[in-house]
Structures are given as structure tokens and as C-alpha cells.
Amino acid sequence: MKKPLTHYKKGYIITNLRYAKNIVTETREYTKEEMAMLEEMMKKNPIKSTIEMERLLWMDDTKVEGATFYMECIWLWGGKTTSGTTEEPHQHAHDEVIGFISSDADNPKELDAKMEILLGDETHWLTKSCLVHIPAGMKHCPLTFREVNRPVFFFTLMPISRYGRKTENLEGRKEPEIKIPEFKAPPKDAIGSCYARYIITEPKRHGPPPDKSKPKPPPKAKTTQIVSLDSDVSPGAFYVDFVWIWSGDMKMAAPHAHDWDEMIGFIGLPESKANPRGINGKVTIKLGDETHNIKQSSLVFVPKNVSHCPIQMKGIKTPMLLFTIGNIPLWTEQGKK
């Protein structure tokens, strides 16, 4: 059997395997227009900050042809912002999820950090691992990393092929024109907030319940499901699920396919800033009839009707964050082939 030819260039695995092009291992550089926007924003809102970060991964249809997800992943290492903000108020034509995931194995629900975000006209402080659901049309931001005391995984995500927005008070800057749907704030809840309901901090079980009639073998891996989102959790949302694999061996999911697109993320917790994308253990995923080695933090785009899995993890020695995302309201057995 002929062995696959594999080599690397920045952000991609180059090989004669068909689905290697669906695996992204780097971010992308900001465009000139994006850099100009950032520079103008910094002039408008000067910021004093010691926050250190690493731009990790980027997914959209400029990275993977046909991709139906936009995602940017960043490690926030630590630091403080004492004045200024890091974003401007804006809206999207599609739903967005903004997420923060703790790296603390002893207390993975707590960020040991403080993030300030404006949702509508309300200021909210984020201190727990969370998914913030931003419905289409909802005005949101500024977002500011006020204090980070241990590494936090931060990301922005949309179930569309490329990021787009409408910024408030452009002041001469240009953006592509997009039509923003009307968003009506829900009524206030018991604590007097219209928007707190969009901050999700709990996990939800997906798939069929376990068969209690069959004895369950002892787990070979230490894991924690951190937080989940779907349209049952927040009306109108899409499916998102995050799990920490702390250590050990694990096999996930029999081969299957969906009639919807999926994205799978593998994020290693770095042992040092010098190797921000390292994964300490052997990780493989089956795509079609191909077995792919995941040797560093990666985003994998799985088009609908493509058979995928199992995911095999062996000898995981340092934590790895595993997440799955679908452009569907609910993960169900329906649509699984």
C-alpha cells in the first residue's frame, strides 16, 4: 500500500490525502483593511493593557473551500486592562457565539479572569467558562479583557462562510454593506436583565441516554464536559459543545455522517508559550477512508454526508480541549447516517 506523502506549510497540511485540506493548523494574517480598522479603533479608544495573547487558529472559506463556519481562536495568557476597550459596538446579519473556556483542571468552571461585555444596553461581567449567544441583529460590545490570571481559551464563532458586521459610528471608515435583521430585546427576567439569558455556563447532554442495562467499563480518560449551546438552551442558537480531555486514552464515536456541516476542534493546552499549538499525545480522526494524525491544535471542517470518526486519543499527558459545532439548531440522531 502506498504511504501518503505529507509535508507542511504555514496553516495547512499538504498531502495526497483528499481531506487534509479540511484541517487548519494556523491563523491568518489580518488584511490591510482590518489592520486599518484596528488602528482607527485604537486611536478612538486608547487602551492601557498588559494582556498577552496568541492568535491561534482561523477558519472560514478563505482557509477551507466550501467551509460554512467562521471561527477565530486565541489564547489569552494573562495581564490586565486598566483603561480603554478592545472592541466597538456592532451587529451581525447572523448569530454569533463568543466564548471563554477556563484551563484550570481543578476548577474548570471558573475563568480566574474578568471580561467586560456590553449586550444591548447592559454591561455584563464574565467570570465563568461560558458561551455568549449573540442573536442576529443584537447590538453588542465593547468587549474588554479586564483581568486574566491564568490562560483562557477565547474564540468568536459564526455559522457562516465569512465574518461580516455593521459597526456603529464608522466615522468615515468603510465596511461592506450588509442587511441587519431587526432584533427585539426579550422582557426582563427575575433579576431585571434582558440579556443575561444569552450567557450560557452549563453543559447539556447530547445524543441518546446511556443504556443502563449494559455494564459501563471504567473510563480510561479523565474528562469534563464544560458548556453547551443549542436552540433548546437559547432559542435560535446553533449546536456547540466543549469538553476537556485532561489525560488518558479515549475512543469517541463510531463512523457516521450527517446531513449538516460540522466542525471539530482540537486545542492543546500549551506547556509553554514557545509551543502554543502543541498536543501531547497521539490523536487521530477518520475522514472518509483516511486516517489523519492531529499533531497540533487544529480545526477540522467536516462537510455534510462525509463519513467521519472514530476519534482516537492515546497517551494524552497534558489537557486537550475538544469541541464540536454544527450548523443546526439541535444535535439529534436524526440526520446521522
Note the pLDDT tens digit of each residue in 116-140: 999 999 999 999 999 999 999 999 9
**Which residue(s) pair with 316 in the sheet?**
248
Q: Is the pLDDT of residue 10 over 60?
A: no
pLDDT recorded at residue 8: 46
Please report the pLDDT score of residue 6 as a whole number: 47
Nearest one of 92, 188, 77 to 134, comparing CA atoms: 92
Question: What pTM did the predictor assign?
Answer: 0.91
- Per this entry, what is the length of the chain? 337
pLDDT in tens, 297-333: 999 999 999 999 999 999 999 999 999 999 999 987 5
In percent, the amount of the chain with pLDDT more than 70 equals: 91
In this structure, what DSSP letter does residue 21 have?
Answer: G
Cβ 79 vs Cβ 50: under 8 Å: yes
Domains of the chain in start order, with CATH, are 6-202+219-326 (2.60.120)
Residue 267: partners with Cβ closer than 8 Å, 6 or more residues away: 56, 57, 73, 153, 297, 320, 321, 322, 323
Residues 259-293: tens digit of each pLDDT: 999 999 999 999 889 999 999 999 999 999 999 99
Q: pLDDT-derived band of residue 210, with 50, 70 and 90 as boundaries?
A: low
C-alpha cell at 56: 491561534
- Residue with the three cell numbers 494574517: 29
Q: What secondary structure letter does DSSP report for 334?
A: T
Using 50, 70 and 90 to split pLDDT, how confident is the model at 61?
Answer: very high
| Residue of 99, 124, 95, 100 whose CA lies nearest to 111 | 100
Number of H helices, E strands in the chain: 1, 23
